[in-house]
Structure 1
Amino acid sequence: MKAFTLPDLGEGLAESEIIEWHVNIGDVVTIDQVILTVETAKATVDVPAPYSGTIVSRHGQAGDIINIGSLLVEIDEQVTATSESNTASLNTTTLKTMPQVTASQSVSNAEVQSTSSKNNKNDAATVVGNVSQQSHNINIDEFWIGSDNHSNESNTDKPLITALPSARVLAQKMGINLANIQGSGPDGVILDGDVYQACDKQRPGTEMLKGARRSMAASMAKAHQQIAAVTITEEAILSRWSTNEDITTRLVQAIVAACQHEPALNAWFDPDTMTRCVHDRVNIGIAVDSQYGLYVPVLRHADEFNASGIRKWVDDTVAGIKARKIGREQLQHGTITLSNFGAIAGIYATPVVSPPQVAIVGAGRIIKKIRLNQDASIQQTNIQQATEVDVLPLSMTFDHRACTGGEAARFMKALVNHLEG
């Protein structure tokens, strides 16, 4: 019997959310067969089986948050006939050549074999393939419920609670009694996810942030602490736009043009080394709202896409997010971000810059405004005609540590000029 625990999925990520199990108890699996899909840091990862064999137990349900080292499955490993034959032959040879031993030595050997068997049973495997090969050991915190001043007789009547140290701290913060929780870990160990589930039952309406929402909470807190944010606003008059204009495509093309005109906003900033990296390629992160939370997939080399290519990329990416089939690599290496929040509601906003980027462009809802134009047909030059026009509100937040106000204003002007052209 082999135990398989959640391995390190990379980038120092300590926890994952179970999205879907692909195997059931009793199923026979082969090495590298995908057994479950997890999500971490807004990306989904398929976890393969490290052994061939039969699934004896499965731990955790879809939606559970699990930490590195948490037990996932136990597999009754298959042994081939050739291996059994070789083992039997080896045992026969060993018996023939083994010298006589004393009774005490036999007992010692038996103890060693028993210890080895026990260690093999608790062996924690890691994923093979494209993820980390590191093993992780979780220290289990065992303690008695009740006062240490009770006699030994009274303590024997108390239930023994086995829980991860992090689960105990979490339970104390949430006011959860561990004695009322049935652990889902190996041998009934209480995990963090068990505490969260108990909290959901105790406080209706309370939910644990998972997946994209959990990652968003961490990244927004980081941005609030690190960025010297300043927001500049402007309006683009869309009198030259056609009726069925693709707003997202036009915004992407306008950002590319503005980055080429004023590259200072298409950059990364490292406050620790006080260095700025201005990029010649434009990788635009496009904020996508979904029922699972906010995702920001990156359109790499956006300067090389035409209008139809941009639209196809957006459609394919949104479909992947809805199906929760988006990889971590699709969310990396953005150099500037676009948030088209006006597609839902809102005119102006203060978008949040995601470090190490230094700028984010927000587009609000298109509104109607009255514009005064000089009427060339009228002789008197002081007479103007009022016309109704569509206006696109724009808001751009930039990190004032890395960009000057002049650079931001020039970028915004180039953005507006391209949209109005």
Structure 2
Amino acid sequence: MKLFNLPDLGEGLQEAEIVSWQVKPGDEVTQGQLLLSVETAKAIVEIPSPEAGIITKTFGDDGDIIQVGDPLVEFKVEGATESPTSPIKPVKQDSGTVVGEVKSGSQVIEEKAARLGVNQSSGAKATPAVRALAKQLDVDLSIVTPTGPKDTITAGDVQRVAKILAEVGPMELLRGVRRAMARSMAQAHAEVVPVTLCDVVDIQHWKTDEDFTVRLIQAILAACEAEPSLNAWYDAHAVGRRLLKKVHLGIAVDTTDGLFVPVISDVGQYSTAQLRIRLNDLKKSVSDRSIPADQLRGNTFTLSNFGTIAGRHANPIVIPPTVAILGAGLCYDAVVPVDGKPAVHRLLPLSLTFDHRAVTGGEAGRFLAALIKELGDK
């Protein structure tokens, strides 16, 4: 018997969600045959069999989240020696010494709490009876606000939370794209020092059939050439940045499954017509979930055209290692002075968020000024 574990999927990814199995116990497979599909970092990845054999066991069901290195498949290979069917888990080492076991501080506290009839798991203080009630009502004690003496959780506290949970409905675990998005947002919140500059540009002169997104992309290219500091990656560990010559543009795409950011590598190589074709292709591949994983990473700058939905200004989120993102808001009409007289013109609101660890205010200001000039030119 041989075990095949979830391989390293690259980019530092440590887990994946099982989408669907293509094999079952008893199936005979050939080397390279598809075993299952998993989702990670917003992409569907197909995992082939490393060799030929007969499937004897599969680990995990559709929707389960597994870690890199966890067993996926056990199969019988001709000529292989027999081994246990269950995965081998590391044995916890004995913390004892030659004079006996040395208990950790947490163990001592837990044992003392047990003698007093108090349960302190998950940082919560509750009697065994209250713990049993919480288990019966499916209430996690870590989310209960205690009202008892010395911050002890009472039965009434558990019943109050149970009533609230019954009203709001069951917990919906984030999976797939939304799970990846949640982790990216948490990383950005923990690492980035964000600052947002807002401004508007007069686009009254634009043609009625102007390709809005393409025009924004071309303006970003011009701004990156004028101020390269925003087309960069920041390394928090080394406290350094890498300025890149080519612009690999991430385009935020909203879907019912969550937010995707497909990347147009070296976006400056495309003409206006080619850019539109490339954008259409990306939108389609995101819609039908056929976009390859390598087209969802490696961006050096990001564009979020949130104005197609609603909102004039925002604070777009910078995702490391990039250092900037441009948000384009909802266009609106406003009265502006033209040759000393009032006139109604079409305005485009812009929001530029940058990571102040790597970008100065002056650099961001020059970038935004170059962007506005490019959009404002006829």
Partners of 2:182 and 2:272 in 1: CA distance:
33
1:372 aligns with 2:348: no
Q: Secondary structure at the match of 1:117?
A: coil
Please state if 1:270 is matched with 2:235: yes
Q: Which residue of 1 aligns with 2:370?
A: 414
Q: Contact between 2:304 and 2:327, CA under 8 Å: does it hold in 1?
A: yes
| 1:359 to 2:324 alignment | yes
Alpha-carbon contact 1:223-1:353 (below 8 Å) kept: yes
Distance 1:285 1:16, change over 3 A: same
Question: Cα 1:367–1:292, aligned 2, differ >3 Å: closer, same or farther?
Answer: same
| Residues 1:206 and 2:175 aligned together | no
Q: Please state how far the C-alpha of 1:176 moved relative to its aligned partner.
A: 6.4
* AA at the equivalent of 2:61: Q
The DSSP-based 3-state class of the residue aligned with 2:82 is helix
Unaligned runs of 5+ in 1: 88-115, 125-136, 142-167, 178-199, 375-381
Displacement after TM superposition at 1:38 (Å): 0.6
Report the Cα distance in structure 2 between the residues aligned to 1:332 and 1:230, rounded to whole angstroms: 23
Aligned to 1:66: 66
State the 1:56 CA deviation.
Answer: 4.3
Code of the aligned partner of 1:248: T
Q: 1:36 matched to which residue of 2?
A: 36
Residue of 267, 273, 281 corresponding to 1:316 = 281
Shift in alpha-carbon separation, 1:224–1:56, aligned structure 2, 3 A: same
Distance 2:235 2:8 in 1: 27
**1:214 & 1:396 partners in 2: Cα distance?**
26
Q: Which position in structure 2 is the counterpart of 1:19?
A: 19
Name 1:392's counterpart in structure 2. Answer: 348
**What is the CA-CA distance between 1:57 and the residue it aligns to?**
4.2
SS in 2 for 1:320: helix
Deviation at 1:403, TM superposition (A): 1.8
Kept after mapping to 2: 8 A contact 1:298/1:330? yes
Q: Superposition RMSD on alpha carbons, in Å?
A: 2.9
Following superposition, the deviation at residue 301 of structure 1 comes to 0.8
Where does structure 2 lack aligned partners over 5 or more consecutive residues? Answer: 93-120, 123-130, 137-164
Q: Would you say the 8 A contact 2:2–2:83 is kept in 1?
A: no
Q: Which residue of 1 aligns with 2:192?
A: 227
CA shift, 1:48, in A, is 0.5
Aligned to 1:333: 298
| Structure 2 letter corresponding to 1:411 | F
Counterpart for residue 51 of structure 2: 51
Give the equivalent residue in structure 1 for 2:271.
Answer: 306
Following superposition, the deviation at residue 315 of structure 1 comes to: 1.8
How many aligned positions are there? 310
Identical columns (%)? 44
Q: CA deviation at 1:410?
A: 1.3
Q: Is the 8 A contact 2:302 2:325 kept in 1?
A: yes
Distance 1:304 1:35 in 2: 38
Cα contact 1:286–1:298 (8 A) shared by 2: yes
Whole-angstrom CA distance in 1 between matches of 2:89 and 2:288: 33
| Structure 1: distance between partners of 2:91 and 2:345 | 67
Asked whether the 8 Å contact 2:27–2:54 carries over to 1, the reply is: yes
Q: CA 1:284/1:67 → structure 2, altered by over 3 Å: closer, same or farther?
A: same
Q: Deviations over 1:318-371 (max 9, x none)?
A: 222222233332122211111111111111001111122211100011111122
Q: Is the 8 A contact 1:283 1:300 kept in 2?
A: yes
Secondary structure at the counterpart of residue 242 of structure 2: strand
Shift in Å at residue 224 of structure 1? 1.6
Deviation per residue, 1:92-141 (Å, 9 max, x gap): xxxxxxxxxxxxxxxxxxxxxxxx6344x45x7xxxxxxxxxxxx54489
Tell me how far 1:399 sits from its aligned partner.
1.6
Give the SS at the match of 2:277: helix
Who is 1:405 aligned against?
A: 361
SS where residue 365 of structure 2 aligns? Answer: helix
- Give distance in 1, aligned partners of 2:30 and 2:246: 43
Q: Read off the aligned partner of 2:370 and give its amino acid letter.
A: A
Q: Counterparts in 2 of 1:66-215, with a 5 A limit?
A: 66-77=66-77, 79=78, 117-119=82-84, 121-122=85-86, 138-139=89-90, 204-215=169-180
For residues 249 and 140 of structure 1, what CA distance do their matches in structure 2 show? Answer: 58
Q: Is the 1:35–1:49 Cα contact (8 Å) retained in structure 2?
A: yes
Q: Could you say what secondary structure the match of 2:346 adopts?
A: strand
Is the counterpart of residue 243 in structure 1 residue 243 in structure 2? no
- The verdict on how the C-alpha distance between 1:205 and 1:50 changes in structure 2, with shifts beyond 3 A counting, is same
CA distance in 1, matches of 2:273, 2:60: 43
Report deviation, 1:405: 1.6
Q: Does 1:5 align with 2:5?
A: yes
What amino acid does structure 2 have at the position aligned with 1:395?
Answer: S
1:26 and 1:272 map into 2 onto residues whose CA distance is 48
TM-score normalised by the chain length of structure 1: 0.67
| Aligned AA (1:44) | I
Cα deviation, 1:276-330, whole Å, max 9, x if unaligned, reads 2222111111111122221212211111111222222222222222222333321
